[in-house]
Structure 1
Amino acid sequence: MGTGVLYIWGLGASGWANSYYSAAVQAGSQSWTAFFFGASDAANAITVDKTPASLWPMALSVRLFGLNSWAILVPQALMGVGTVAMVYASARRLVNPWAALLAAAVMAVTPVAVLMFRFNNPDALLVLLLTVAGCCVVRAQERGATKWLVLAGAAIGFAFLAKMLQAFLVLPGFALVYLLTAPVAFWRRIWQLLLAGAAMVAAAGWWLLAVALVPASERPYIGGSQTNSVLELALGYNGIGRLNGADYGGLGNLNQEAGWLRMFDTEAGGQISWLLPAALVLLVAVTWLTRRAPRVDPVRAAFWVWGSWLIVTGLVFSLMQGIFHAYYTVALAPAIAVLVGMGVAVLWERGARWLLAVVTAGTAVWSYVLLSRSADWNAWLGIAVVVAGLGAALAMVLTRRVLAVVAVALVACLAGPAAYAVDTAATPHTGAIPTAGPSTGGGPGGGFQRPPNGFQRPNGGGQAFSRPFAGGQGRMGRGGMGGLLNAGTPAAELTTLLKDGASGRTWAAATVGSNNAAGYQLASGQPVMAVGGFNGTDPAPTLEQFQQYVAEKKIHYFLGAGMGGFGGRSTGGSDDAAKIAAWVQENFTATTVGGTTVFDLTQA
């Protein structure tokens, strides 16, 4: 109940949240083809630059309840409630109810979890499915149950359809732990893992196969690729390019922040790292305490399942040379939560109070460090946390008043993330790169400062473009900005023009960049072609294709002028968007409607 309130309360304040995905949800609610492929508009010009599974629950919700912020965001919040429930269920199988509740509480109040389960990025479905997979692997290991391992494989495969290769980061650890610890014969373990792999391939591959079988002329262009290929999107733009910083299709890379301590820096630290040191210490401690347990010991195996998730995913996030955003770290939250809840229980049962005291003191001190990064935000809280935490740690060793000491220790360890969680839930978030909690001034390039209280949606969508961040690099605070990273709200007269001009046209208008198109589309309810996709660097459409659309009277207006940094081979992507903009400016007359440059493509 508490998690539901935290995740659902005040959702409508964020408006369209990430307008890029909200526009695709709108399109999916209007067209089943757009729904299936994840198109940005109902006329199916181009898809979003991810596989579409995360859009499906939201689009179905909009079909049922109409297009509004609540219909888009409530499914995400419910996924958060489901994730917290799965964390509790997984821990409860092996430890006492109070420890399972602790794990659930840690998950619920992790600031980046509160952020992403109140937002419409693909991460909510990804995290839910991976948590389901982790729970299934733990259950499979207990008795060597094939069905649970197959279900885990299917969950990971479907998670691929939410956020592609990131779903596979848990695979090495899950497979290795099962292979080493399952209580069945070795070759049976091999066979079971092969079956689980087949389930994973089937769960992910059916959609990929469908895309491959549908002729390109009968489906939207695959956004984020340069060759209209899902495999290129998965392996390049959303794969190797994220790891090594290679420029795939205008992905861009300004990331110079990779390093072993990235999860603790000013960009990511306040999002996820409050209990990360504790989780790592508890993982090592339990592994040591169970060193003489049988190979098939379910408690140690469970720690290794969740610990492998935390270590592998955390290292990839820390060392990846491509674009990284702090909200990615929500994928670490379930692993941290289970390790903390179960770890505290195991150490308490084995009488290792001194180690729990060390964990409590260390967590309180680290919370103080994180809270001090927002010096103008509730400065008293950090002092209170460190005093309470150190006091509880000392009392844990010296006194026998167990319940009171444990209560103070838990409050001290959870007060920091809980305060950030409440602040996150109370603050609207929009744009492509949201962050949880108060501003710390962190992130590449110093990040963004927290704007004044209140939420203002930027105006003047479709104005001259600028590209301050290649591929969305940088860190966006509350609110947002128009152009590459967020949509603007067009003036009423422009919205009316688009509605009136949509009659008899496939697209009411076209503009460079998906976020600009999203603003016009969400306001007017009419399909708007996103020339060049998210970055404006996809060859969709080509200049020749666009000219053919214009000749056939399929597009009424072109919106915006002065394409700035969008498009162009200097980014590694296609320059068709820049060519289209230049051709429009050379051959059609510009007018201004509601502060936006408009070209009527029916009047040469």
Structure 2
Amino acid sequence: MPKTTKGRPTGMKGGAGQGGNGIFNVGTAGVTRLFQTALRRQISWFLPLALFGMVAAYLAAYDRKKKWWQTNRKQQDVLYWAGWLIPVGAFFSVANFFHPYYTIMLAPPLAVLAALAITSGLKKATSKRDDKRARWLRYLLFMGLGTTACLQSYYVWAYYPWLSLVILILTAVALVMITLIPAKERLFLTLGVGFLCLAPGFWSLTSTISGESAAVPTTGPSLLSRGGTATGLGTGTVNTQLIKYLKQHNGKSTTYLFATTDSNTAAPYIIKTGQAVMTIGGYNGTDNAISLKKFKQLVKDGKVKYFYISSHTNNNAIVKWVKKYGTKVSSSAYGGTSSQTKGVGAMGSTNATLYRLSASK
């Protein structure tokens, strides 16, 4: 295992929003992808327990008086959560491209099925009428907890070897005590589950502790070593002179401070002013969120009077119309050549152009 340096394994590259794994790194497609380096510390902390829980909960609710295909309400609940976990997990296992934080869609079924593994094992373990089934449920519970502890220790080792040992030892002790002192099994089982929450609990807090603001958020100690990131929506620098100019020249009937192509450009100004900014291209400027006809009607109605075109603008129908019929505003009028240009979508950039729109065109 690699050695660690200030909370990050040596040899791992870190970058804005990467969490030590690369911003778009989601591993290699296949059945083991959720257990690979890129995703396992993001979503797979309780995946083994959930898989064992899916089987245990279904068997615990099985009614021998019914046919095998006849299910009761509890079994249907298990099938519901399994029907969420399996296809979504399969998608992430084979998909070509997605952001790591999309795997948050697996969190609800993982949490429910992991909880069902514990409750099912406890309820049937106290039953004297069905000892054989109770033993199998106990085996499934122990295998789920043991496998989860082993994998969590493996996940954590690259950062904190001592924490890996703590998880393994304490979980093993809890399982042994459950076996030796059945009367206290609820107490020791609670402690065992608590030990398994140590690592994922800490990982989930790292983005908050580091003050990260990323367009593609991740978690992990790597964020702590570099003090978080600031690459998300709303982190770009705003041109305060531009805001002043627009407020002076926009009429009372104007709905939007200005229109632009993408959310990354608009977000800092929405946050700064609290006013609406139209994004005709959605998140990154490539979507056709509004037709040219509707946009021209908004201009005619006086709802939007200015349009900002950045250097990365998609040259769609609206942008072409703005360039053809709009009137360029001199950058000196709003401090475009002297304002800060740092950050995403900075309006002071010399590559950006502000246009005044005419309702008569």
TM-score between both structures, scaled by the size of structure 2: 0.68
Contact 2:49 2:148 in 1 (8 A): yes
Question: Does 1:567 find its partner at 2:352?
Answer: no
Structure 2 counterpart SS, 1:268: helix
What are the residue-to-residue correspondences of 1:52-451 with 2, within 5 Å?
257-288=28-59, 293=64, 294=66, 295-321=70-96, 323-348=97-122, 349-350=124-125, 351-352=134-135, 353-373=138-158, 375=159, 378-398=160-180, 400=182, 402-403=184-185, 405-439=188-222
Contact 2:260 2:277 in 1 (8 A): yes
| Aligned partner letter, 1:420 | W
Counterpart CA distance in 1 for 2:225 and 2:265 is 22
Contact 1:282 1:343 in 2 (8 A): yes
State the shift of 1:278 in Å: 0.8
Contact 1:269 1:370 in 2 (8 A): yes
Question: Does 1:502 find its partner at 2:213?
Answer: no
Structure 2 residue aligned with 1:492 = 240
State the shift of 1:429 in Å: 4.6
Report Cα offsets for 1:397-441 as digits up to 9, x if no partner: 4555734532442222222222223334434453443224434xx
| Aligned partner letter, 1:307 | A
Structure 1 residue aligned with 2:345 = none
Counterpart CA distance in 1 for 2:291 and 2:112 is 50
TM-score between both structures, scaled by the size of structure 1: 0.43
From the two aligned structures, give the one with the greater helix fraction: 1
Contact 1:489 1:523 in 2 (8 A): no
Counterpart CA distance in 1 for 2:141 and 2:220 is 27
Contact 1:559 1:599 in 2 (8 A): yes
| Aligned partner letter, 2:198 | A
Structure 2 residue aligned with 1:579 = 320
Structure 2 counterpart SS, 1:510: strand
Q: Say which of 344, 349, 354 aligns to 1:599.
A: 354
Report Cα offsets for 1:471-529 as digits up to 9, x if no partner: xxxxxxx4325xxx655241332332232232244433222212312322332233323
Contact 1:510 1:555 in 2 (8 A): yes
Counterpart CA distance in 1 for 2:41 and 2:26 is 19
| Aligned partner letter, 1:480 | T
Contact 1:430 1:479 in 2 (8 A): yes
Provide the alpha-carbon RMSD of the alignment.
3.7
Residues paired across the two proteins, number: 304
Unaligned runs of 5+ in 2: 1-23, 126-133, 341-347
Report Cα offsets for 1:318-377 as digits up to 9, x if no partner: 3334x423333333323222222232222232343444332222111111122235x2xx
Contact 1:506 1:527 in 2 (8 A): yes
Question: Does 1:479 find its partner at 2:230?
Answer: yes
Structure 2 counterpart SS, 1:528: strand
State the shift of 1:388 in Å: 1.4
State the shift of 1:384 in Å: 0.9
Counterpart CA distance in 2 for 1:361 and 1:255 is 26
| Aligned partner letter, 2:91 | V
Q: Which has the larger radius of gyration?
A: 2
Unaligned runs of 5+ in 1: 1-252, 440-448, 455-477, 569-574
Structure 2 counterpart SS, 1:558: strand
Contact 2:263 2:283 in 1 (8 A): yes
Contact 2:152 2:164 in 1 (8 A): yes
Structure 1 counterpart SS, 2:162: helix
State the shift of 1:310 in Å: 1.8
Report Cα offsets for 1:189-215 as digits up to 9, x if no partner: xxxxxxxxxxxxxxxxxxxxxxxxxxx
Counterpart CA distance in 1 for 2:105 and 2:41 is 15
Counterpart CA distance in 1 for 2:26 and 2:142 is 38
State the shift of 1:581 in Å: 6.9
Structure 2 residue aligned with 1:531 = 280
Counterpart CA distance in 2 for 1:411 and 1:336 is 16
Structure 2 counterpart SS, 1:599: strand
Identity of aligned residues (%): 27
Contact 1:357 1:396 in 2 (8 A): no
Counterpart CA distance in 1 for 2:225 and 2:294 is 42
